[in-house]
Structure 1
Amino acid sequence: MDLLSKINSNSAEVSVIGLGYIGLPTSIFVAESGYRVHGVDIKEDLIEKINNCTLNITEPGLKKLLEKNVKNGRIKASSSYKESDIFLICVPTPLSDRKADLSYVKKAGESISKVLKEDNLVILESTVPPETTEKVLIPILETSGLKNDEDFFTAFCPERVLPGRITEEMINNDRIIGGSENSRNLALKFYKKFVKGEIYLTDLKTAEIVKLMENTFRSVNIALANELALACEKLKIDFFEARELANKHPRVNIHEAGTGVGGHCIPIDPWFIHEKTPMRMIPIAMEINESMPLHVVDLIKKSNAKNVLILGMAYKKNTDDTRETPVLKIIEELKKENIDYSVYDPYVKMNELDPEGCDALLIATDHDCFKSIDWREIKRKMKRPLIIDGRNFFEKEEAEKMGFEYIGVGK
């Protein structure tokens, strides 16, 4: 049976390489669509957790789907590669000296090449610089002795999901698939099994840069918002009120300002374009965004606070995702200034909310659960009832009505 027939009949064996924030949910939805999934990861503790139906990320509805597909035998995690019909590469591509570290992609390619067979389809989902699939991954796969686009097929399809919304977005978001006509058509048939959004076809390099363009757009616009927020602070204008009014214009969409950017996309992806072809705007935008944690610490220093309670470690509200969180930079700078701190974030198992003796409270993440905190009790226990709001969590008047002093980023 050829690969297309296996895809259509749900009999294709699928290997997913990398079982992190993208790979594990991808495995689950591929299994949900009827395929048998062999998950591969280098972390033995993670493999054990998955095979025991333990989810390592917080995503609504995902745990039940994992339990269902592990118990019915559609998902099995392992540290070893095996022959499959389709390989999905979902490994990290961290930043190293402002360039993409492709070592995990290369290792995945090398391991796949040892079990690659004729009529196999290899799909790279990891975010990479343009030309990576063509000039890095495919030559590694061809060390198998097989020829790309003749004996096997390779495509690129970047993930485009938001932590906290993966269950919904992995199904409903539009997708971009790059590759030769044969490769992308096979990938199209495969993704249509579990993707309800539109699927657009293009070449490899275009597909690779699309994801980077999306996140560069967001990074640059967040940088603009942060720069405007700093200007508003100096002018004693509420940036958030001004932003809301400016966004009434039908062709204006100024982004949120705050403590900085986090995650594995916005702080990283723009550099992947810049390393291939240097751009003037990207370094400026990245510098602005990277400076925001330092600005927050400056606000703390100017307040003369010596013991800060930080609310939130995750970079994004209502998730446990701490990848590239700006809070780590804030903590690093507080240590340099010999300012004591503690962190409360129930999503990342930092469960001790103790304001006793604190002379400032920094809102670094705007989790919804923080709304139910007994703020008057917090005020009573604090040495000095000062809120430094990095996420526009409170209106100034609201905080002052509860008896707090209030300093806000962009206010």
Structure 2
Amino acid sequence: MRGTSKPEVCVIGLGYIGLPTAAIIARANCRVTGIDVNAQVVDTINRGEIHIEEIDLDGLVQGVVQRGMLRAATEIVPADVFVIAVPTPFEKDGNHTPDVSHVLAAATSLAAVLKKGDCIILESTSPVGTTEKLRDRLAGLRPDLKMPGLTRDTPDISIAYCPERVLPGRILEELTHNDRSIGGITPRCARKALAFYKLFVRGTCVTTDARSAEMTKLVENAYRDVNIAFANELSMIADRMGLDVWEVIRLANRHPRVNILQPGPGVGGHCIAVDPWFIVSSAPEEARVIRTAREVNDAKMHHVLARATALVEAHPHVPVACLGLAFKANIDDFRESPARFVAASLARKFGSRMRVVEPYASELPPEFADTGATLVDIDTALETCGVLIVLVDHDVFRVVPLEERSRAAVYDTRGIWPDAGEPARPDLRLAG
């Protein structure tokens, strides 16, 4: 970023975070090249279209592509600022070990075009120390460039970590207005990244060190996971005691210092269902509450599956509708979704009896193949199914009136139909 001119930016990874980030940077009049390994994604964006569902993103992408401020490619190009927004999944060892290979692969690719003065910012949610690993990878590949933290001289490159804090369905607004924690390998790196984010972020940008910023992101999602686990565990206890968990929570929340969250079928998404394990992996002996919360929320999926299975078996030969596959309401993101797990498990067991209602899907995910389950709309489900299993609180489900669902046995895991009343068999009006 020379003088007062806007930097050329390269955003690596054009998924649920990378594409909105690239579009917002482009809206700030920075020329942006977005990089993705999927050629179909690249072609879609270069047509001014999008491959993900997000409010107002389609119009923004169309506009910045038409203005020539955003283009997509499969190969990394030279830039002044590189923003890495690639996945950080688990290793395939079954132990929830973080896999940062995509981050290091991005570092390897950009090393070839790196030049003195460039700034590299990692946004991918990562275990503590990943930003330093990225730096070390670059240092090994480009010994001609002085790297921050490895030289007493002024470094040639700036490297920082700056995670997003966004809610699907509000990503554009929150990328712009939410506060940011910017962690530099050195204070100089943090200041360089700060100057970049101030071009398009209206929220407060706070500088710190890279390791603290990495931990902050993990702590934010672990905190939410622990609170959700309390609600989910409470729902299972209430079930054992024959209590209405929604009523218990409603009354308890009248206490001025109590704010219990609403239970559900588990926890999904690529953040809350994943990030706490990064802390557990780094400190397995100390992270006892965090580990337990993860185990409780995973157990809730199996609890819901068991109760749903019992309900379906109690109504033999009756078509059954699972309402929702997404990990939360009103989005098309099915990653780590407990609803998807429950619906697919039921489809494998009950086959063609199963109907799935998901307004944000044009087809069922691959695991439904050969099960006989079909994708239907909400009206078809209400007209033909004698069992309704609510797994996601999409708005289109919330507004279904009592008279349209009163004939069916209902298992409402989201508490969206408190007026349900009693079915023909009152023991089967389940909740929680």
If the length of structure 1 is used for normalisation, what is the TM-score? 0.92
Which of these residues, 111, 131, 137, is aligned with residue 140 of structure 1?
137
Give the Å deviation of 1:357.
5.2
Mapped to 2, the partners of 1:24 and 1:222 lie a distance apart of: 29
**Corresponding residue SS for 2:325:** coil
Mapped to 1, the partners of 2:53 and 2:215 lie a distance apart of: 29
Contact 1:220 / 1:282 at 8 angstroms: preserved in 2?
yes
Give CA deviations for 1:191-233 in whole Å, capped at 9, x if unaligned: 1111111111111110000010011111111111111111112
Give the Å deviation of 1:308.
2.1
**Corresponding residue SS for 1:293:** helix
1:66 partnered with 2:66: no
Give CA deviations for 1:23-61 in whole Å, capped at 9, x if unaligned: 000001000111000000000111111111111222221
1:33 partnered with 2:28: yes
Task: Please tell me the residue identity of whatever aligns with 1:245.
Answer: L
The match for 2:323 is 311
1:172 partnered with 2:199: no
Give CA deviations for 1:139-193 in whole Å, capped at 9, x if unaligned: 1112122121311010000111011110211111110000111111111111111
Change (3 A) 1:157 1:347: same
Contact 2:166 / 2:175 at 8 angstroms: preserved in 1?
yes
1:245 partnered with 2:258: no
Alignment of 1:4-15 (within 5 A): 5=3, 8-10=4-6, 12-15=7-10
Change (3 A) 1:404 1:79: farther
Which of these residues, 353, 357, 361, is aligned with residue 388 of structure 2?
361
1:151 partnered with 2:156: yes
Contact 2:406 / 2:420 at 8 angstroms: preserved in 1?
no
Alignment of 1:245-394 (within 5 A): 245-278=251-284, 279-303=287-311, 304-306=314-316, 307-335=319-347, 337-338=349-350, 340-349=353-362, 352-353=376-377, 354-355=380-381, 358-373=385-400, 376-377=403-404, 385-394=408-417
Alignment size in residue pairs: 398
Change (3 A) 1:205 1:195: same
Which of these residues, 228, 235, 239, is aligned with residue 233 of structure 1?
239
Contact 2:88 / 2:98 at 8 angstroms: preserved in 1?
yes
The match for 2:431 is 409
Change (3 A) 1:199 1:399: same
**Corresponding residue SS for 1:346:** coil
Give CA deviations for 1:358-402 in whole Å, capped at 9, x if unaligned: 33111111111223446645556xxxx11110111111xx21279
**Corresponding residue SS for 1:39:** strand
Mapped to 2, the partners of 1:202 and 1:138 lie a distance apart of: 17
Mapped to 1, the partners of 2:256 and 2:119 lie a distance apart of: 44
Mapped to 2, the partners of 1:109 and 1:61 lie a distance apart of: 31
Mapped to 2, the partners of 1:46 and 1:403 lie a distance apart of: 50
Mapped to 2, the partners of 1:45 and 1:16 lie a distance apart of: 17
CA RMSD, 1 decimal: 1.9
Gaps of 5+ in 1: none
Contact 1:387 / 1:404 at 8 angstroms: preserved in 2?
no
Give the Å deviation of 1:283.
2.5
Contact 1:225 / 1:255 at 8 angstroms: preserved in 2?
yes
**Corresponding residue SS for 2:420:** helix
Mapped to 2, the partners of 1:22 and 1:248 lie a distance apart of: 37
**Corresponding residue SS for 1:343:** strand
Mapped to 1, the partners of 2:112 and 2:27 lie a distance apart of: 28
Gaps of 5+ in 2: 149-154, 364-374
If the length of structure 2 is used for normalisation, what is the TM-score? 0.88
